[in-house]
Structure 1
Amino acid sequence: MTSSTAASWAAFTTAEPGLSATVEARFGAYTHHVLATLRKDGSPRTTGLEVRFLNGELWLGMMPGSLKALDLRRDPRFALQANPGGGTGMGGGDVRIGGRAVEVEDPATRAGYAQEVEPPEPFHLFRTELTEVVRTHVEDDAYLVVQVWQPGKPLRILRRA
């Protein structure tokens, strides 16, 4: 997350439609995922979280006053890990998203989100700005494949035997 360049979910989808569909499906396979934020002292905090893909954005909704929301208000950097599921199979691979979370206060935007998601009131709402998307999976039972997307750069694909 060292890059100063960030992109919306829609920009990622435009740049890499196949990868974005895989990533969204991976997050859609389960309800709860893992969000990493930074505490006041700089140490990591991991917590469970539901995510939503709506209107070309990846949204993070949180309960009022939650520690993860307070962390993001103080330092907007985050890492989001898709739930790996049970057992040893990870259909679609391992997926991680890094970026910055921007709190949304606009009443019309919040109302539109609430109409789609119906969160308990009140709630914190964050729109994400992506700095990196990574998918790791096994190909042909022989290769570990790592796909790395960052805004403004071509998709990097690394294969290891």
Structure 2
Amino acid sequence: MATVMSPLRDETARRTTGEALQGALVDLLDLSLVAKQYHWNLTGPRFRSVHLQLDDVVSLARKAADRVAERAVAVGVNPDGRVRTVADTTKIRQPDGGYESDDKVVASMTDILAQIIARFRERIEATGRTDLVTQDMLIGITADLEKQHWMFEVQTQ
């Protein structure tokens, strides 16, 4: 079995960074799934604009998940994006089955993104003590998530 040389030689730093990255990976993978579920089942007068915005969230989440997983490997941590792991550890409230009104989807996505952003900010703080490169990456992803949050939130006012 091959071993990866990690730039994080301190085991505590690697563990803390790995936990932050794994949590981010689960959030991002499930965000992409939830946004796609809403995308497929959306109804209402704002269908087109919300439908397209959900695709933007899916794209952001998928690209960011890949960056997070690759960073985990780079620091010597195995990322776990298996369906069972995501299902067992996600903190995202799952959509109801069936069609969803655009108002409900906008409100739900606003809430989901706010919760994910709060968790990312905790990870930013934690990795500030363990790995500044990971912290920088998480800051960039958080900025993208905050933009999407803002774009959903203004539709609730």
The structure with the greater share of residues assigned to helix is 2
The structure with the greater share of residues assigned to strand is 1
TM-score by length of 1: 0.24
Higher RCO (C-alpha 8 Å, min separation 6): 2
